[in-house]
């Protein structure tokens, strides 16, 4: 059995499961009251976010701005920041997804909806920048 020593106490699976920090997944599920539309929107947002975040070109561009672990220099305003984003020029991604869900209210296939999100992004201009510069690119003020 895997054990870890913490100060003078041996930490085991059993005493972790019997601690006040362990609980059943049902507790979370019972508190999770989201609509199907909310679930679709957030699923599409997460998929799109991961697609952008993990893209080799995006990773390379961000790496070129890295000063040290957890600190970047914005390529536009030159400020040192704790994160860089992939900003959408014009319409926010949440609005793009909202428009798609309004146009396809009965579509529940996330794969099909994600393909539409991808198609809508084909002509989107995207910019690596800090949060402050991101606001400059947002048309929805």
23-59 pLDDT, tens digit per residue, is: 999 999 999 999 999 999 999 999 999 999 999 999 9
Domain spans in the chain, listed from the N-terminal domain onward: 35-137
Read off the pTM. Answer: 0.80
Residue 139: the pLDDT is: 79
Intervals of the chain under pLDDT 70: 1-7, 140-141
Helix (H) or strand (E) holding 128: strand 126-129
Residue 124: the pLDDT is: 93
Decide the pairing of beta strands 4-6 and 85-88: unpaired
Separation of alpha carbons 32 and 29, rounded Å: 5
Residue 42: the pLDDT is: 97
Residue 2: the pLDDT is: 60
Residue 5: the pLDDT is: 59
Extended beta strands in 24-91, E state: 66-68, 71-73, 80-81, 85-88
**CA separation (Å) from 10 to 1, 3, 16, 47, 113?**
12, 7, 10, 40, 49
- Please choose, from the candidates 50, 49, 58, 60, the residue with its C-alpha nearest in 3D space to the C-alpha of residue 127: 58
46 Cβ neighbours under 8 A, 6+ residues apart: none
Residue 6: the pLDDT is: 63
Residue 49: the pLDDT is: 96
Cβ count near 107 (within 10 Å)? 13
**CA separation (Å) from 65 to 3, 6, 13, 87, 122?**
41, 39, 42, 15, 25
């Amino acid at each position: 059995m895997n054990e870890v020593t913490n100060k003078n106490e041996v930490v085991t699976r059993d005493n972790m499961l019997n601690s006040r920090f362990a609980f059943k997944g049902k507790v979370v599920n019972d508190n999770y009251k989201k609509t199907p539309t909310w679930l679709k929107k957030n699923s599409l947002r997460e998929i799109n976010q991961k697609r952008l975040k993990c893209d080799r070109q995006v990773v390379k561009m961000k790496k070129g701005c890295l000063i040290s672990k957890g600190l970047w220099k914005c390529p536009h305003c030159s400020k040192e920041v704790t994160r860089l984003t992939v900003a959408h020029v014009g319409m926010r991604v949440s609005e793009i997804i909202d428009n798609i869900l309004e146009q396809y209210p009965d579509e529940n296939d996330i794969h099909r909806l994600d393909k539409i999100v991808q198609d809508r992004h084909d002509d989107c201009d995207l910019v690596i920048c800090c949060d402050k510069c991101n606001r400059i690119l947002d048309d929805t003020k």
